[in-house]
Every structure is written in structure tokens, then in C-alpha cells.
Copies of this chain bind each other. A is one copy, B any other.
Amino acid sequence: MGIDELIGRPPDRILLAHGAGGPAMRQLIRTMLLDDDGVFPEGGAGPGAMDDGAAIPVGDRFLVIATDSHVVSPRFFPGGDIGRLSITGTVNDLAMMGAIDVVGLTCSLVVEEGFYGEELARVQRSIRATCREAGVRVVTGDTKVMGRGEVDGMILNTTGVGWADRVLPTGGLSAGDKLLVTGHIGDHGLAILALRHDLGIQGDLRSDCAPLNDLVRVLLEVGGDDVVALTDPTRGGLTAALHEMGAGSGVGVLVDESAVPVRDEVRAAADLLGIEPMHMANEGKAVIGVRASAADRVLAALRDHPLGRDAALVGEAIDEYVGRVLLDTGFGRRILAEPDGEPAPRIC
């Protein structure tokens, strides 16, 4: 059955995979949440509801709006916490659309009755510190309390509004464009999983959770119109991001496996857990499509930025294998299959 025939047909039951950032989630959104009648309509300058946010033309600029609810478990982890994640997640969604001039963020808290006030205060301090780091403000909020047992601790929704001079689509690649990642892959997902599974090596694993708006500012200054596609490899990891970029652009993606930066400790933890780091969420990385002629210039500029020191050229867009990702392993080429999203629930 094609996607078109599924429109309006709900799944029988919601599965964890429906929130995992992969094909099941995209199908849920396409079949239930999109229609041509008021909800997620076409239009605006953004390439549609499957992007990181919406872009609305206002004068000669675009007002970009992005939203994320954060349910990460555990709430505190090496390299971050739910407060830091909620600010960086939304700042990054805006930045991935080109909206680095942030008007403001909202922060809506749903908290369980009996939650410790000191823990809430700790999350609030982290929100404040991350706002200062990113140079953004929370301008309004909402607070709801649910009864004991009705929600596991807390949920934070952060919605962001910003201005973009030009909207950067996820799916703006043409064959021949180069693909860059801004650093090591899999850090966030493996840090969370190592903590949950008590792997004993968790001290070496840290979430990469960081606001990317300044890195994107540098990218746009140096790359200009040669930057053609941008997204962040969050749920579903680099694998999902590359599939979205390729499918959205109508191209295939060829990746040089040995060029994808993965930390040794992330590789070790992933091997222990039997998972692929490229499938795991990142919270401080971007995947960038650039014209081939600009790749070296952009890569050098990224490496000059504290959040891009380990940036790498990992692949290119090709005109075969449209919508698929081809992995050059060094011993041959194989299709990088997309799993049904992030292999762990509540990763962000």
C-alpha cells in the first residue's frame, strides 16, 4: 500500500517506533497529521511539515517556528540534562532552518505531583545557563501539574520563533553536492544508553548537547548560497538524517564509512549493546550539504569553530539510489538500511 492510500488511516495502536524519528514516525505524520485542509498545509517557504520547523514569509524575511517536547530519561546525564536539551533542541531546530536571529523561546512544563522542588530548580538553572550560552531568552511559559503516577516526572515543551534571511531546507541537495558532518556521531544516544544499561564506561561518554546557532552563523557567512541543505541528526541519528536529505532532494547519498567520525568509547559502547552509532541521536551536530566547489572552504571554517573542530566530509549526493543511502565500507558498497527510528525510547 502506498503512502497516499494510507492518508487518514490510523494505526491500530501507537508503538514506541511512532516516536522514534524513523519511517514509522514519518508515516504516522503523513497519514494522520498532514492534510490539505488547515493542518500542516502546504505553503510557506519551508519544504513542508517534514522539516525541522515551519517558515512563514514576512516581508523579505521568513518567520521560522519550531517545537519540541522533551521526555528524556534519565533527566540528568553526562553532558546535559532535560533543561539544557530543551533549549538546545529548539535553538538547533531554528538554526537548521536558517533562523539564527531568535525572537524568543517558550517553555511549557508538565510536572508530576510530588516532584522535588530542588530538582525542578536545578532544571531551571540549567535552562537559564543554556539560554545565556546560546544568547536566547525564554519569553513566556505554562505550568501544568498532573497527579502522582500520571506522568513520569516531567515533560518540557520548548517552542522557538526566529527570523531567517533565507530558509535552509533539509532536502536541497543535487547530485555532486558534498555532505559534511560537524563532529563525532552518536555521542548523545550512547551517553543515555550507557547510563540506562549501567555499562560502567559511562564516565567516558558525554552527550554532545549544544546550541548550534553560532556555528550556523559562521556556516552561512562563509558558505553563503553554496550551502544548500541543512539538518541535525537527532532521533534516528545520521542514518535518518541522510535518508531524509536524500529522499527530500530526490537524490541518493553515498557515504564513506571510514570518514564518519565516531569516538572510540562510543564505538565500544555501541559494540557492547549491538547497535550502530550512525543510528543514534546527536544533540549538537549538523549535517550540511554544500556545492562541491565550496566544500573545502566550509570545512575549514567549521573546524575553526569550537563546536566544529572534528567536522568531516563524509559523502556526496549521487543521481542513483534515489532516497537511499549507500555505504562505502572500504571493502565494497552496501545499502545502509534505515531501522525504524531511534533504537531507544525517550532519548530526547
Contacts and interface: CB of A to CB of B under 8 A. Distances in A.
A155 B10 CA distance: 18
Contact of A155 (B15, B118, B155): B155
Nearest to A155: B110
A146 B345 contact: yes
Interface in A110-169: 110-118, 120-121, 124, 127-128, 131-132, 136-147, 149-152, 155, 157, 159, 161
A18 interface: yes
Nearest to A38: B131
Given A35-B128, A38-B138, A66-B140, 8 more contacts: A13-B116, A14-B117, A15-B145, A33-B143, A38-B131, A69-B155, A71-B151, A110-B155
A103 interface: yes
A65 B140 contact: yes
A253 to B, nearest CB: 24
A16 interface: yes
What band does the interface of chain A fall in when counting residues whose beta carbon is under 8 Å from B?
35 or more
A232 to B, nearest CB: 14
A16 B113 contact: yes
B124 A71 contact: no
A157 B35 contact: no
Interface in A244-261: none
A339 to B, nearest CB: 16
A106 to B, nearest CB: 4
Interface in A294-348: 345-346
Nearest to A58: B103
A186 interface: no
A345 B145 contact: yes
A116 B122 CA distance: 36
Interface in A52-74: 53-54, 56, 58, 63, 65-71
Contacts of A116: 12-14
Majority-rule SS of A interface residues: mixed
A195 interface: no
A32 interface: yes
Contact of A139 (B19, B54, B58, B140): B54
Nearest to A37: B128
A161 B66 CA distance: 11
B69 A108 contact: yes
Each complex incorporates copies of this chain amounting to: 2
Given A111-B19, A138-B39, A14 B159 contact: no
B14 A120 contact: yes
A57 B131 CA distance: 20
B146 A346 contact: yes
A138 B37 CA distance: 10
A262 interface: no
Contacts of A56: 103-104, 139
B39 A128 contact: yes
A44 interface: yes
Contact of A144 (B53, B69, B141, B144): B69
Nearest to A69: B108
A20 interface: yes
Contact of A25 (B114, B128, B143): B143
A220 interface: no
Contacts of A18: 111, 143, 145
